Structure 1
Amino acid sequence: MRDVYSFALSSDGMQLAVGDGPELLVYRGDGQPVYKVFCDGILLGMAFVGDTLATVDSEGRVVFHRAADGRKLEEVQLDSTPLGAFASPDGAFAVITTQGPVLVEPNGQAGGYPLQDLVCASFGPDRTSLGLGTSTGHFVAMDGMSGAAWGSLPVGMPIIDVKWNHQG
């Protein structure tokens, strides 16, 4: 068994994308391979965003691929070190970096919000809310559009994951 660093399931469950080192492997829901794309760095995170598949690698490159065939549509170079990625249910894509979350648009625009020690994050039901967890044990809730912090709560231990429910 090989290490898998990242994976993503399309919202309809018909495609599974897997990052195996620098290889992006995409399979149909029945397990049949669809395509393979070689990337420049180790894939750290990915998410299906509408009809695209967004990836981030260890070199800070965010690439938007056409989900159907893997063709590169857009590439964005980040200024900070990536740690992972996440997406909102309505299609926003963001990267967890050493400097905080960075929202990346398919048109190449990127905007970040400073937050040290970030290790996990999640959008709320849409891109208007973000929940962030730090290795120092702080949960931060913020506006996903402006980056304005709504509040912070110390939990007394490192946070390893953040999830939202239907109530927020």
Structure 2
Amino acid sequence: MRRQLLFALVAGVMLTAQAEPPAAPDRPLANPAPEARARVLFEDIRCVVCQHEAIADSPAGVAGDMRAWVREQVAAGRTDQQIRDELVRRYGDYVLFTPPFRAETLLLWLVPFLIAGGAAGGLAIWARRRPPPEAEPLSPEEAARLAEFTAAARNRRDPAAPSPHVEP
């Protein structure tokens, strides 16, 4: 029992030692217009630690540093494109949720369409090659019932037809 407790304690200490430190509290810009612009940029920038979250939503320390850096750049008068270009220079195209469309990122943009087209083509080929199901022959009782039904249907009057007793 002591061994298990000691193991759990050591494992807990090791896990907390490797954890990312929490982000420093955000300090928004005093002017609301540049702060709103910075917040729009936050939504398009990927956290390099979390990789599935924007820096606006990420609790990682690196995301907090990136938010502070973006605010500094906005306050310094840099354009949105200049800020994005600097982030791409530092971290690569992956840092943006909407990477630029150019030769290096062409595969990133086209792979989803290629996968969808390949899947649709594969399904079409599979559907064409699949043999149609063969119909079972009718039993003698089923054939007799079908003959009765078609004979009765031929003799039945069409309800949509005009009455022969009414003159047009």
TM-score, length basis structure 2: 0.24
Larger Rg: 2
Larger RCO: 1 or 2 (CA < 8 Å, sep 6+): 2
Structure with more strand by fraction: 1
TM-score, length basis structure 1: 0.24
